Chain A
Amino acid sequence: MKHIISILIENEAGALSRVAGLFSARGYNIESLTVAVTEDPSLSRMTLVTRGSEDVIEQITKQLNKLIDVVKLIDLAESVHIERELMMVKIKTTGQSREEIRSMADIFRGKILDVTPTSYVVEMTGPSSKLDAFIAAIAPDSLIEVVRSGATGISRGEQGLHL
């Protein structure tokens, strides 16, 4: 099962490589990883998407917690949460297909950021599955480039991940 693990980690050089190193050393897989500084400049927030059995996820969270730089973490899959990913897609498009792509972007609530006579760049956010669906709806030979940020997430309700 897919798990989104949110981590508050000391904003220090090497902290990211401790997390990445842990995953490679112990043979866990990382589907995506995003990291940026928080409103408290001493902390970074990392969102890590991984898959594994319950036992593996339990080990992953324990091993992450064991890293001295990790301050706190939660597995978002354990509660109701919102998941978002940002994607930009460059699509080859001329003549008739231009209208088609535009309406497709509308259906998926995407925005067209860049237009040339032969291409569009479409921006889209949503759960990763929605972005997958958009890609699947576009003819593969018209895709020039796909850039995805990896998922981030936040829990619903008043509770939050902070110190």
Chain B
Amino acid sequence: MELNGAQIVIQSLKDEGVEYIFGYPGGAVLHLYDAIFQQDDVKHILVRHEQGATHAADGYARATGKPGVVLVTSGPGATNAVTGIATAYMDSIPMVIISGQVPSPVIGSDAFQEVDMVGITRPCVKHNFLVKDVSKLAETIKKAFHVATTGRPGPVVIDIPKDITDPRIKVSYKYPKKVTIRSYNPEVNGDKEQIKKAVELLLTAQKPIIYSGGGVVLGEASKELINFAQTLGFPVTNTLMGLGAYPATDKQFVGMLGMHGTYEANMAMHESDVIIAIGARFDDRVTGKLDEFCPYAQIIHIDVDPASISKTVKVAIPVVGDVKPVLKQMLELIKDSKKKPSKKALESWWNQIDQWRAVQCLEYDRESRLIKPQYVIEQLYQVTKGEAYVTSDVGQHQMWAAQYYPFDKPRRWINSGGLGTMGFGLPAAIGVKLAFPDSDVACVTGDASIQMCIQELSTALQYKTPVKIINLNNSYMGMVRQWQEFSYESRYSHSYMDTIPEFVKLAEAYGHVGMRVDKPEDVRPALEEAFAMKDRTVFMDILTDRTENVYPMIESGKGHHDMTLRVAPGTSTDRELA
């Protein structure tokens, strides 16, 4: 089949099984957009800003496990996409970003809308390509999808100069079924000897804990993790990125760990003698002060990326491989082993953990006359029966969503963990809703974050993606304000906006339903009303207690055992800000 470059791109995406492209047209990609116009197989979602395109594709990828695809033009289109590319990179999300480039002959001449996209994105992609020959286009696209989706996944950029998509130049097209890259062969199965050693150590543990992360979600290994944990009877903690991979309502789950993790998770990590880290990377928000991290533990680490192993925390037994096959092999060895985990040791370990649980570190003032953000999330959980896809932006609301919405399934909790990108939530929710039109999709956000990509409300109307926006409005950049309260003697430098739009009117202006909620007793009925409107995007502006902080907290420079808990749990925290 003879096709031109633009047709090759679109046909390749079709052959790759791509349903949606998230993009925005411009000069360098006009040939591509003309090819999109002439077919119906690959649907294009027109965003209102390229950052929105990347987050929407990212949300789609996180919810489905399939790679998200983005199409942007050269220059500003490309640079606008960079934040979203970096977001996906930090959380290892498979994406393929196609950027237009000025025609090959003028590259390097500071042509109109020229930017060195390959150079700019190099530090925040898994790999990138500049296409120089139309006959290599299909193979390059196949390579991009291969790299993006295998090993430790990540975003891959394909920069395509305009002359490569010239409709007048046709070449024969065949989409390769398979590609091999001689320098790229990610280890999958893990070393048998290392796996054996790990199992031996696990079976001698007295105070074990399973610390699992986003790798279990990405590696589709939730079932294996559950089997593994339940066979051993060990406690499980999840990272922010790993929530849902182990059911949060299960009794073996001790909550999220790290800076805003639960008291029991962090104390169990601190006191543990054997930790098995599964698809987690010892991020600084998890470890706290490194010198004080898990002083008594021998650590086993399963990760598909060898560079994640012993990067910040030295481990005793590394296993390089995909978490799924490695966990399967471990489970078999455990079942075949004559040695079993010590019942007595585990019983006393669980007793200890139950004492930490009794601290009830997530309790908050339920009698408040103000709307507590935690209460909103709890009600959201109930109204959606724990089944919603929840996206979030970044800040206090993100932590509350992570703490108070117990996720029982992987890929339901969609947030920017590594990069911490405000503006992620709304476009991500649109991407999720396109993938799962029959599921409830909620975007938990705040008055500051939502304004960073609010233009995508327009996209939500155009493509009829009825998401529910839960805006926990405290008129502050809450997390910034909290840090200023803790570390800067409450000097709230620029964490407050004097003018916040009337979100209800704004939502209506964009063609959606706006709701304002300012009394605790109205929260539940308003949520029920909003989720009953199946075909409408609803913006719920919920005025919450402006002084509320996220607890527990490991303040910077402190260890897991040195958490700041809410003062006198259960007492009123209604107060005026200094």
Contact = CB atoms under 8 A, between A and B. Distances in A.
B122 A62 contact: no
Contact of A17 (B122, B127, B182, B311): B122
Given A13-B130, A59-B311, A71-B182, A65 B306 contact: yes
B183 interface: yes
A163 B182 CA distance: 9
- Categorize the interface residue count of chain A: 20 to 34
A68 B184 contact: yes
A72 B122 CA distance: 20
A69 B183 contact: yes
A70 interface: yes
B127 A68 contact: yes
Given A10-B183, A68-B181, A68-B184, A59 B122 contact: no
B24 to A, nearest CB: 26
Given A25-B123, A65-B306, A14 B311 contact: no
B183 A14 contact: no
Interface string B114-132: 0000110011001100100
Interface in A39-90: 55, 58-59, 62-63, 65-66, 68-72
Contacts of B147: 68
A149 to B, nearest CB: 26
Contacts of B127: 68
Contacts of B311: 59
B122 A21 contact: yes
A68 B126 CA distance: 8
**For B182, B184, B307, B311, which residue has the most chain A Cβ atoms within 10 angstroms?**
B307
Interface residues of B, number: 19
Contact of A63 (B119, B184, B307, B314): B307
A69 B127 CA distance: 9
A10 B182 CA distance: 10
A35 B126 CA distance: 23
Contacts of B305: 66
Given A13-B130, A21-B123, A68-B147, A55 B183 contact: no
A66 to B, nearest CB: 5
A18 B122 contact: yes
B118 A14 contact: yes
B537 to A, nearest CB: 39
Interface in B163-184: 181-184
Contacts of A13: 130
Contacts of B130: 13-14
A18 B305 CA distance: 18
Contacts of B182: 71, 163
Interface string A1-22: 0000000001001100110010
Given A17-B119, A18-B122, A21-B122, A66 B183 contact: no
Nearest to B156: A68
A153 B119 CA distance: 30
Given A68-B127, A71-B182, A163-B182, 12 more contacts: A14-B118, A17-B122, A18-B122, A21-B122, A21-B123, A62-B309, A66-B305, A66-B307, A68-B126, A68-B183, A70-B183, A71-B183
28 contacts: A10-B183, A13-B130, A14-B119, A14-B122, A14-B130, A17-B119, A17-B122, A18-B122, A21-B122, A21-B123, A25-B123, A55-B310, A55-B314, A58-B310, A59-B307, A59-B311, A62-B306, A62-B307, A62-B309, A63-B307, A66-B305, A66-B306, A68-B126, A68-B181, A69-B183, A71-B182, A72-B183, A163-B182
Interface of A: 10, 13-14, 17-18, 21, 25, 55, 58-59, 62-63, 65-66, 68-72, 163
Interface of B: 118-119, 122-123, 126-127, 130, 147, 181-184, 305-307, 309-311, 314
